[in-house]
Structure 1
Amino acid sequence: MTLHPETALRPGSAATSPNSRYRLHYQTDGNLVLYGPDGPLWDSGSNGRGAGACIMQADGNLVLYGPNDEYVWDTETDNNPGSRLVIQDDGNAVIYRPDGSPLWATETCQPPGSADSHVLQSGSTLTPTHGIRSANGLYGLLYQTDGNLVFYGPDGPLWDSGTNGRGAGACIMQPDGNLVLYGPHDEYVWDTETDNNPGSRLVIQDDGNAVIYRPDGNPTWVTGTH
């Protein structure tokens, strides 16, 4: 979906990507949040400020106004008349000038295939805001920007690594079989203590469990959520 000049989102409404996988939701708490299949990818940080209108202005600026028309937040993209906001199939929300050049973006582009895979193979990495989900789409493991690794079900979080606030760097399914979280400076944060099991992989299952399996099919770690 595209927000053209002088169009608005009202509280509780959203603009959705053509593939329906990504949604920019103007929440009733005043926060503008971009959601992917596994949870939030970006937000304006304006929750609690009150909701009035989210307007793609004619001058090219995307602006949030409060319930009394007071300024709350903007993309600082004025002086670009005719620009539009596009919610893309790749997970990015972008403001484009009329000539097609980008002005502003949430910078949440998802790697090809990442949202469809339910397996984190040996040697694979999740970077912040990325995740994997079950084949049935009901369960997702999301590596959040606060450093927490969270397993979500249809009704909310089921399990987490308890590492929020530690900073996010990388979540790696190491070749030795250990799932490890590293901070922004490559410092160790958390692991599943499953090393010495080379070639293991992490699987997000349709039954609501996240399981690390050895190559012979035996499990070495499970969230134990179902």
Structure 2
Amino acid sequence: MARPREFEEGVVLDAAMECFWNRGYEATSMRDLVDKTGITGASLYNAFGDKRAIYQRALDRYVEGSVAARLARCEELPPLEAIVAFFDDIVSRSVEDRSRKGCMLVNAALDVAPHDDEFQRIVAEVMTRIELFFRDCVQKGQEQGAITSTMSAEELGRHLLGVLLGVRVLARVRPDRILLEGVVRPAIELLDIGSSPRHRDH
């Protein structure tokens, strides 16, 4: 009869996620994971597989707990307000990130995806999910007359994704609220049909 696991899987994955998030994939060893999770290497292998498999589970947990949760919260709001709330949350989390560990998804894009086709696909799918959130918000806002139609929803969705990634990378080295809000504000003003003189002049 198999012995029951003597640990809670979610707690162990959260600990592994923090380890990878802080140190990056390459710099994290199995010894680091053992020390952080508090369980033996054999138990880690038996429960989750090798380091790569543990990383994938940890990244999945991050995406569902952070990215997907943020999208779900924002999707309940009116279109322009949803985009503003999304970026407000990103800026606040970036400023409050004392260890400057950034976004685990963006870190994966830079650290792991270039050398691993499977992780490249995983990261690309999540970024596409975010881009579609922006596009759908813009499209609804355009239909309601709240967001400019000077550019297509597809173009503006891609632009907002680029702004997001820029903020996340910049915050790793300069987590200054004024700076980050200064990056986001022009993008929001570009969307808001009533916020900028250029929209009234043209």
Q: Which has the higher helix share?
A: 2
Larger relative contact order, structure 1 or 2 (CA cutoff 8 Å, min sep 6)? 2
| TM-score, scaled to structure 1 | 0.27
**Structure in which a larger fraction of residues adopt strand:** 1
Query: Could you state the TM-score of these two structures normalised by the residue count of structure 2?
Result: 0.29
